[in-house]
Chains A and B, each alone.
Chain A
Amino acid sequence: MNNLNIKQAKEGLKNKKFSSVELTKACLGRIKKVDSKLNAFVTLTETKALEQAKLSDKAIKEGVELPLLGIPIAIKDNFSTKGIRTTASSIVLDDYIPPFDATVVEKLKSAGMVLLGKTNMDAWAHGSSTETSDYGASKNPWDIKRLPGGSSGGSAAAVAADETVAAIGSETAGSIRQPASWCGVVGLKPTYGRVSRYGVVAMGSSLDSPGPITKTVEDSAFILDILAGMDEFDATTSPNPKGKYLQNLNKDIKGVRVGISDQYFIKGIDKEVEKVVKTAIKDLEGMGAKIENINLFDPKYAIDVYTIIQRSEVSSNLARYDGIRYGFGRERFAEEAKRRIMFGTYALSSGYYDQYYNKAQQVRTEIVKDFEKAFNKVDVIIAPTSPSLALPLGATKDAAMFGEIADVLVEPSSIAGLAGINIPVGFSNLGLPVGMQIIGPQFSEALVLNVANMYELNTKNALWRSKKPNL
């Protein structure tokens, strides 16, 4: 039962095939069975989840209809959850219990979700592996000697391993798409400002974008319908009207112009990744999409821009953990956070601001323009999500810039605040998932989800789709 997606779980609940308590127990049972291997969860809220499931069953009986009523969901540990420990996987916040819910959490609660627990991540979302978590790295369900990616690695692993029906992650640059890619699940990074950041422990404030990690594209559209929209508590949310994402799926993609840029098949890219993604592009062409070669800036420029802006914001965002209010001192920050604080503080220092932060913002504007130019010619851009397959545990050791380099293919679109999605498109010979990203202009989630969904439908019966992690 735990391997159901949202749509299937909703149907089952509606047709009284099973109860929310049974479904929740199935997920909790799976977690008990496999999470000692995966370490996808930092905090499990078993008692609360079962209570909520019971309430949901009662509500279902009474005829209450809510989008997520009785559906188990896991949430990344950087989302503030009222009364539930929220650590962002850092022991600086080891016993921090927030008095308020993030807007995303509030919306999911109003939609009736059953919260299973909080998922592991890179501490403060600093990384692309979960190896910087103070609670130990999560493992990739497809090969527990490998990393799930990050920072939303716990959420991606939990979905891939069927520990939950769906999960929530957040992306600054890659933190949803890259772990989704390495774990073989769907991960949607909405446009910056589409989903409220209120209550999400801030990393790179001008980049952070919460979004769903799910088993199907349809489920991502379904969750985005719940999460999207303006929030009076987040001044950076957009007044741009939200789409009807689920309703908009299943539109013919004949004639949709898909841009492919050689610059995104970078030197050193895993040959299997390249091959599988190119096959998927062929599939899309077969479905009537018009494939066009376009020129984009080399994504390597985004690394510097992203590094400077994100670390500058980090140095300021982490200043509040000064040892006065949260019980633990700054000595609890681990290496990566300290490195970022130092780097950002330096970049913002008087005399260096123009040289670094200002310059980075100027280049950022150029990257935005580069995409605008591209989107005059094509509707979406498709590329591999990660240049590599899931890497072995320990890969981040002595690699201070690991995340920035692993995320090179998602950084440009994150910097430009665009909409993007990772979808699984096959496996390597070793049985590791390969992910492909579809990038669209700002607020083009409906388009991006539709293209992704059409691919998913079209490959529904592909042999590789029947594969499940062996845990």
Chain B
Amino acid sequence: MKYTPIIGLEVHVELKTNSKMFCPCSADYFGQKPNTHTCPVCLGLPGALPYPNKKAVEWCVQIGLSLNCDIPLFSKFDRKNYFYPDLPKGYQISQYDKPFCINGHVILSTGKKIGITRVHMEEDTGKLIHETVNGKKASLIDFNRSGVPLVEIVTEPDFETAEEVKEYLQKLQQIVRYLGVSNADMEKGNMRLEPNISLKKQGQKGLPSYKVEVKNINSFSFVGKAIDYEIKRQEEILDSGKVPLQETRGFVEKTSSTASQRVKEEASDYRYFPEPDIPPIRWTNEKINGLKREIPELPDAKKTRFQKQFRIAEYDSEILTTDKNTADYFEEAVKAGKILSLTPKQIANYIINKKTDIESLLPAKLVEEIKNANTTVSVDDKTLNETIDKVLTENPKAVEDYKKGKQTAIMFLLGAVMRSLKVKADAEKIKAVLTAKLK
């Protein structure tokens, strides 16, 4: 390829705090009757003031710490001024030049390091609903989402392929779920993705002169499609000797393509200034260390530990640590399995192969089940002979096939015998008797 893709990513993660970012309203807005989770603060009524949600701020810092960020001891909120009907104050409370977290990184499975520029805290907007009311087209506003805590995670333009982006997103999703700070459910809009893509000629120094941002993406696979489409589109433009426009494009699901939304000549002027309603935040090292200690073992570390401690394969370890509940379940099962002399490997295989429902089956029950599955019951010779004879009479075709030399037919007969016995009998023994009888 003549060009190297330069891809950066902005991800918004909605936190699952009980209350909103700056008021006591419930932050659980999904599927609720419009404008029922509102108060003077999140409606931006005259005189109402924001009061920051401590939990949300701490969670934001923990996300940053989990992404290997530095936490500056001084931070503050700023106002981002712009007009939009879903923004009740005419500005969004966000962070501009002093975000909570800076200079982090994530390491992909290839060993490649993706830089995290910043992680900051802001508030969500309301939602516009375009409907026909009494036969007239109308735009309605639901403020239930207004003021829900959002964490924005911005990467350096370090990605080169859609696969790298997808892996990063999976890791990020896994981390926030491990932290228990967000459901990171794409369908509910808990995680919103905005890649920016440009191409540079092989060997070209510095960043390209333009950047295309793609919005409205609600799945990891669509991010991949949007990126692949953009790479191709921009390649064609560059090949024709032109430079792609600096613009914001939207992803079109139907055609897996992108379409121009608005052309950005310069960065918008949001007239940021320090939010006078919220005093700056000053951390102490003790406080940050305390937040660090509260962070649970994260997926990468857990995966490595499982491999070492339980001597299971990397692949198995990866599957077991995909989500924290499964990992915890596995560890408990290993503990319970010790008494029954089950190896972690046996338990891992069972959970992975049988796709155990960890919600309904207790780990103690699970290990019993595994133990039973591995223990054979001895069957007396009389019962065994009778059962085999019955199976042989009932399956003349299989018997004939075997006699003609079709070795696999014996497995079919063996299965039929095992089923008729209704207990877990020693398959080797039955096979031996069967073979003798068929001679």
Contact = CB atoms under 8 A, between A and B. Distances in A.
Interface in B33-59: 39-41, 43-52
A45 interface: no
Given A205-B277, A350-B271, A319 B50 contact: no
Contacts of A236: 49, 276-279
B50 A235 contact: yes
Interface residues on chain A, size class? 35 or more
B229 interface: no
Interface size class of B (residues with CB under 8 A): 20 to 34
B46 A235 contact: no
B379 to A, nearest CB: 74
Contacts of A241: none
Given A80-B46, A202-B47, A320 B89 contact: yes
Interface string A319-342: 110101100000000000000000
Nearest to B91: A316
Given A316-B79, A319-B90, A235 B269 contact: no
Interface string B261-299: 000000101011100111100000000000000000000
Nearest to A98: B45
A80 B48 CA distance: 9
B45 A80 contact: yes
Nearest to A199: B47
Nearest to A206: B276
A102 B269 CA distance: 33
A100 B45 contact: yes
Interface in A343-372: 345, 348-350, 353, 357
A357 B273 contact: yes
Interface stretch (B80-88, B213-221, B325-333): B80-88
Contacts of A197: 47, 49
Contact of A198 (B49, B91, B141): B49
Given A205-B277, A235-B277, A345 B271 contact: yes
Residue of A86, A96, A348 with highest tally of chain B CB at under 10 A: A348
Given A316-B79, A319-B83, A320-B88, A353 B47 contact: no
A325 B267 CA distance: 29
B93 to A, nearest CB: 11
Nearest to A207: B276
A312 B48 CA distance: 19
A12 to B, nearest CB: 34
Nearest to A326: B46
Interface hub of A201, A313, A325 (most chain B Cβ within 10 A): A325
B127 to A, nearest CB: 14
Contact of B46 (A98, A204, A313): A98
Contact of A102 (B47, B81, B277): B47
A183 to B, nearest CB: 25
B54 to A, nearest CB: 11
A357 B97 CA distance: 15
B47 A200 contact: yes
A348 B81 contact: yes
Contacts, number: 103
A99 B40 contact: yes
A88 interface: yes
Given A96-B46, A100-B40, A319-B83, A313 B271 contact: no
Nearest to B77: A235
Given A322-B90, A345-B271, A349-B269, A234 B51 contact: yes
Most buried by A among B47, B81, B141, B277: B47
Nearest to B51: A235
The interface centre, meaning the residue of B90, B91, B279 with most chain A CB atoms within 10 A of its CB, is B90
A348 B45 CA distance: 23
Contact of B273 (A93, A96, A353): A353
A145 to B, nearest CB: 33
Contacts of A102: 47
Interface in A48-95: 78-80, 86, 88, 93
Contacts of A86: 46
B273 A201 contact: no
Contacts of A199: 40, 47-48
Contacts of B141: 324
B79 A324 contact: no
Contacts of A234: 49, 51, 277
A307 to B, nearest CB: 15
Interface in A234-265: 234-236
A99 B277 CA distance: 21
Interface string B143-159: 00000000000000000
A197 B85 CA distance: 26
B230 to A, nearest CB: 28
A316 B49 contact: no
Contact of B271 (A100, A235, A316, A324): A316
Interface string A183-213: 0000000000000011111101110000000
Nearest to B39: A100
Contact of A316 (B41, B48, B52, B273): B273
Most buried by A among B46, B269, B272, B276: B46
Contacts of B276: 204-206, 236, 313
Name the residue in A99, A102, A324 with the highest tally of chain B Cβ atoms < 10 Å from its Cβ.
A324
B47 A319 contact: no
B153 to A, nearest CB: 24
B85 to A, nearest CB: 5
A349 B271 contact: yes
A350 B89 CA distance: 21
Interface in B237-280: 267, 269, 271-273, 276-279
A233 B83 contact: no
23 contacts: A80-B40, A80-B48, A88-B46, A100-B39, A197-B47, A198-B48, A199-B48, A201-B46, A201-B47, A202-B277, A235-B49, A235-B279, A236-B49, A236-B278, A316-B91, A318-B90, A319-B91, A320-B90, A324-B141, A348-B271, A348-B273, A350-B269, A350-B271
Given A99-B45, A102-B47, A201-B46, 6 more contacts: A88-B46, A205-B276, A234-B277, A236-B279, A315-B81, A322-B90
| A-B complex: 4 closest residue pairs judged by Cβ atoms | A319-B90, A205-B276, A348-B271, A206-B276
